[in-house]
Chains A and B, each alone.
Chain A
């Protein structure tokens, strides 16, 4: 497994941990599911620190190795970025439409106001940002494992 592939795995672990803690802090554990929040908190806490430690170790070892990223890695990263950009663009358009509709129909009911509120826009953009990062890295891992 190349260092770039390892970095893709750690980045996914890091992003998933951040998303989990963010969602848990902002929205809380959903009522319809039995409360396993402590269990998942421990798992994602460990994932977060292990991912950070591996990234630091790879960062240090980069100074010793001559080549850690080459044309193949850049090509695979470009494919990941393409998918992430597509998702990001689509999500932002959806959020903008929601904001527009919220303002347009805000007098008709509270449901339309939900996404139009600044804090909800912030949450949506935050989650979209990390989701696009997960999509980028997942695409890269797919290409590393299945294609190249």
Chain B
């Protein structure tokens, strides 16, 4: 399976939020650290619910965190 077309700014947003670790973000949204790592690497597209949770952690609208690459 190829990498997904959904790209994201999670790494940059984590850095801007006090260098939040993947584990900390994972705890906040209720997933494992490996899932955050896979999302960041664009290997896994999160569900809509998880995407909204991640955006809420960074206090950003969804489209600022995730973008669809056409």
Contacts and interface: CB of A to CB of B under 8 A. Distances in A.
B45 to A, nearest CB: 10
Interface string B38-56: 1000011011001000000
By secondary structure, the B interface counts as: loop
B53 to A, nearest CB: 11
Interface residues of B, number: 14
B18 to A, nearest CB: 21
A73 B32 CA distance: 9
Contact of A72 (B1, B27, B38): B38
A123 B30 CA distance: 43
Contacts of B30: 66-67, 70
Contact of B27 (A3, A5, A66, A73): A66
Interface of B: 1, 26-27, 30-32, 34-35, 38, 43-44, 46-47, 50
Given A70-B35, A72-B32, 5 more contacts: A66-B30, A67-B27, A69-B32, A71-B46, A148-B44
20 contacts: A2-B34, A66-B30, A67-B27, A67-B31, A67-B32, A68-B32, A70-B32, A70-B35, A71-B31, A71-B46, A71-B47, A71-B50, A72-B31, A72-B32, A72-B34, A72-B44, A73-B35, A147-B1, A147-B43, A148-B38
